[in-house]
A and B are shown apart, each in its own frame.
Chain A
């Protein structure tokens, strides 16, 4: 009975060690993860702008299939981080808001992409 209990404890210990090792590897694989573009909608905005020279607020809203409020909040965060630039103008009588990806935003997306790729490679090697 005592032997069985010791074996169980050892197995538990091994499992805990393995979990800690996996978790440590995950942590090492995910340092400096850009939290600003890691959020889904913000990642979508950055990706859409990377494929276009510029997009208006309504084009982005249509592409992302989201609400005005939600898009405004996330676009503002990206703007504050310097990842996108925003310009407002009038087309006839209609006010337009146009977004463009900045150099910092493009490099943040490139970093994020390589980060994801290295994460996948690291996990495959485990």
Chain B
């Protein structure tokens, strides 16, 4: 029965090749523009709440809560977009993007713990922006051009935040997680379908 399996495998392989080539050639991103815009809106709200906190520790907790909410929004909106296009969130480019973003998110989480323990709260926002930007750039390598460009903007903001006085950090966070998400989310909605 070897020849039978061989012919069947070849046919399956050809179908897989066609699907992968079409996926690679399509200017489509699994990232939901509307989801990004929603994250931007919640981040702007978080920046207002964070600015009113009496201590830097509470300021960090406010943004951590916002980070958790953003993850939920991102997951839900990407899954919705994947379903609308009859694909799976964890197939093809979506999986590649997830695996590229995950290391920097994990590194960011660990560094937050270490810096918070050392009492160095002021370096945390810059580190978040920088690492998030790194993850978005590597994840965006498999996506449309708007995504790595957004990552680069996050990295620039992160670098500026690290070198600026701590009183400005909330502005950097608002412009980064709020403004950049709103701006690039709108581009994704307009150019790459939802």
> Is the beta-carbon distance between B25 and A123 smaller than 8 angstroms?
no
User: Nearest chain B CB to A27's CB is how many angstroms away?
Assistant: 10
B3 contacts the other chain (Cβ, under 8 Å)?
yes
Interface residues contributed by chain B, number (CB under 8 Å)? 19
Cβ < 8 Å to B, chain A residues 74-126: 109, 113, 116-117, 119-120, 123-124, 126
Chain A binding surface SS class: helix
Most buried by A among B5, B12, B18: B18
Also in contact, A52 and B25, with CB within 8 A (given A26-B3, A43-B18)? yes
**Contact pick for A43, options B17, B24, B26, CB 8 Å:** B17
Chain B binding surface SS class: helix
CA distance A109 to B23 in the complex (A): 16
CA distance A26 to B24 in the complex (A): 32
> Is the beta-carbon distance between B26 and A51 smaller than 8 angstroms?
yes
Q: How many CB-defined contacts (below 8 Å) exist between A and B?
A: 64
> Is the beta-carbon distance between B4 and A22 smaller than 8 angstroms?
yes
**Contact pick for A117, options B7, B15, B27, CB 8 Å:** B15
User: 0/1 per residue, A10-26, Cβ < 8 Å to B?
Assistant: 00000000010011001
Which chain B residue lies CB-closest to A30?
Answer: B7
Also in contact, A123 and B4, with CB within 8 A (given A43-B14, A47-B18, A47-B21)? yes
CA distance A48 to B45 in the complex (A): 43
Residues on A with beta carbons closer than 8 Å to the beta carbon of B4: 22, 26, 123, 126
Residues on B with beta carbons closer than 8 Å to the beta carbon of A29: 7
B11 contacts the other chain (Cβ, under 8 Å)?
yes
> Is the beta-carbon distance between B26 and A52 smaller than 8 angstroms?
yes
Most buried by B among A19, A26, A51, A126: A51
B1 contacts the other chain (Cβ, under 8 Å)?
yes
CA distance A124 to B17 in the complex (A): 20
> Is the beta-carbon distance between B22 and A113 smaller than 8 angstroms?
no
> Is the beta-carbon distance between B3 and A44 smaller than 8 angstroms?
no
CA distance A124 to B1 in the complex (A): 11
Q: List 22 A-B contacts (CB under 8 A).
A: A22-B3, A26-B3, A29-B7, A30-B7, A43-B14, A43-B18, A43-B21, A47-B21, A49-B25, A51-B22, A51-B23, A52-B27, A55-B25, A63-B21, A63-B24, A63-B25, A116-B14, A117-B15, A120-B8, A120-B12, A123-B7, A123-B8
Q: Report which B residues bind A (CB closer than 8 A).
A: 1, 3-5, 7-8, 11-12, 14-15, 17-18, 21-27
Q: Report which A residues bind B (CB closer than 8 A).
A: 19, 22-23, 26, 29-30, 40, 43-44, 47-52, 55, 63, 109, 113, 116-117, 119-120, 123-124, 126
